[in-house]
Structure 1
Amino acid sequence: MKNNSIESTKLPNILIKRLDNFFKNQNEEIKLDIFSEKRNQFFKLKNIDSSTDNLVLELKSFYSAIDYFYNLHENANSKNKSMLTKDLKKYNEFTIKSSKKQNRSALKEEFLVDKSSIVNDLLLSRRSYREISNFFSKYHNKSISHTYIRRVITKYPEIFDLKEAMNNAIN
């Protein structure tokens, strides 16, 4: 009979929140490395306790993998930098991949593309770029300048109905 108890693998809530935030802020390459490490952790845990349910082991191995990368990050930022050579190699790969984070403007561009239906509705209702900027500031807590909104709209004419909005503005 398998042990379904999550209590045997329970982590403190503060640690879980810290690890979740760390994972959330990583780019896709780091997340793939974390999932690769999760697989290694899973088989280590499975060898230790084969009676535990696989779902519980999956969760435990996931947080163990995130914790491994989190500790790499913390050890490198500490004053005492004593790391094993395999950890140094892993950390070097981690720093290279983590430096490829999306910049803020790319995130705003992605946000605008995701909200293209809202932008199109605002354009069709003859709203200015300033009014669109104020809308996102008021209803979505996103500070995006009106000039940046104009740049993104002209960059993706196939997504945003700029021509249709211009025809409606003329008529």
Structure 2
Amino acid sequence: MPPPSNLEQFQLLPDRPAIRLDSRLVCKYEVLSVVGKGSFSQVLRVQDRITKRYYAVKLVNTDQDFGAVNNELTILGRVKHPFVIRLEEVFRSPTKLFIVMEMASGGEMFDRVVAKGRYTECEARLAIKMLLTGLDYLHRNLITHRDLKPENLLYRQVLN
């Protein structure tokens, strides 16, 4: 007999297949939308039902490269820096991990560069300073970011 599952079907969009979510996650957070989808994971935008704060939830199948995911969780659990995404909590089920992280609603650096086309020296200096400050913190803690690219650099807030 398979172990009991605390996953339940959750319909986000009428024309999309239902997503199986952990009932503990659904009790604590209201699921608002899908904000991203990669080859190994999906990211949801959620809101804490009590504090009303927004978070991102990364859904990862445990049959994927679990070692890499576990490594990411270990690192995120020990870093605290304004320019590094903050891990809030993790829900585990037999088939999925639900990783609750700080919501970076400002989008990717890549999209900003494409949309803007050209940065002033001041804008470029600020972006590079934030990046290097975060990287310096990681390196001082003997952590190497092995997938550094504009698509993985997120802004906390939307700029006007």
Could you state the TM-score of these two structures normalised by the residue count of structure 1? 0.24
Q: Which has the higher helix share?
A: 1
Q: Which has the higher strand share?
A: 2
Could you state the TM-score of these two structures normalised by the residue count of structure 2? 0.25
- Name the structure, 1 or 2, with higher relative contact order (CA <8 Å, separation 6+): 1
Larger radius of gyration: 1
